[in-house]
Amino acid sequence: MTLTPAVLITGASSGIGAVYAQRFAARGHNLVLVARDVSRLEALAERLRTQFAIAVDILAADLTQPVDVERVAQRLRDDQQIGILVNNAGMSLSGTFATQTSADINRLLAVNLSAVVTLAHAIAPRLATAGEGAIINISSVVGLAPEFGMTVYGASKAFLLFLSQGLSLELGSSGVYVQAVLPAATRTEIWQRSGVDVDTLSGVMDVEELVDAALVGFDRREAVTIPPLHNEQQWISFNQARQAMLPEFRQEHPAARYLNTSE
């Protein structure tokens, strides 16, 4: 791996992924940009090559398709220059669980879960062997809030948070940094694709501010970065409360409230 590792970014043609590409390019990293829209990828790659004098490869892939996911995974296994993976590609759905089609739900799970796990698994052994590198997974605050009503999307993002925390514990001792980034509403095209007019929403963060904040967390080596959360103590308390339960889970008998005392 080089002193300035290359960065592979999924969902790089627009939104959060495109801004990550610009920011890492400005830091002098070569890039591998992954998305479906080849024309957008080519335009972004050419702009970044010209502006920052870096190497940019494009890899057209539809992450709902296993053959395309495997092609990206193989690049991560083989390319020793890639030291940072940004698992950014994701999709949302309009409607509710009862009205969404099975086909659409499975497409969401393919992109938000299966592709993320496959790509992280492709690069993790190599990074652990090298003793350096990073994996950034773009989760969401929705994964902490079933009250928001985005059930399948939120469940997929909760999975990414758990995956990131677990990988951080597993890989951290090998020198591999894993970061979960939890945006709230961010001004990207995902709203239009899921049938929501973002201009009708309040409290929507600009994508540049989101990525810049996430990169501050990256530089600080935060395991979990939540840019919209102003009161950091709330996350600290949440995590402490979760950890306080852990010793209580090892029990031979149910809690007293579940004992049948009527007999």
Return the number of other C-beta atoms located less than 10 Å from residue 115's C-beta. Answer: 27
pLDDT in tens, 205-231: 999 999 999 999 999 999 999 999 999
Q: Is residue 193 very low, low, confident or very high in pLDDT (cuts 50, 70, 90)?
A: low
pLDDT over threshold 70, residue 128:
yes
The answer to whether the CB of 89 falls within 8 A of the CB of 35 is yes
* Average pLDDT estimate for 241-262: 91
Q: What is the DSSP letter of 182?
A: -
Reply yes or no on whether 177 is catalytic: no
Return the number of other C-beta atoms located less than 10 Å from residue 132's C-beta. Answer: 15
pLDDT over threshold 90, residue 194:
no
Please state, in angstroms and rounded to a whole number, the distance separating the CA atoms of residues 57 and 30: 8
Report the amino acid identity of residue 152.
Answer: V
- pLDDT at residue 185, as a whole number: 86
The answer to whether the CB of 84 falls within 8 A of the CB of 177 is no
- pLDDT at residue 203, as a whole number: 82
Whether the pTM exceeds 0.85: the reply is: yes
**Biggest distance spanned by C-alpha atoms of the chain:** 79
Please state, in angstroms and rounded to a whole number, the distance separating the CA atoms of residues 214 and 191: 20
pLDDT in tens, 153-186: 999 999 999 999 999 999 999 999 999 999 998 8
- pLDDT at residue 191, as a whole number: 62
pLDDT over threshold 90, residue 235:
yes
pLDDT over threshold 90, residue 48:
yes
Which of 20, 153, 177, 258 is catalytic? The answer is 153
Helical axes 115-130 vs 151-171, angle rounded to 10°: 10
pLDDT over threshold 80, residue 26:
yes
- Domains, the chain, in order of start with CATH, read 6-232 (3.40.50.720)
pLDDT over threshold 80, residue 192:
no
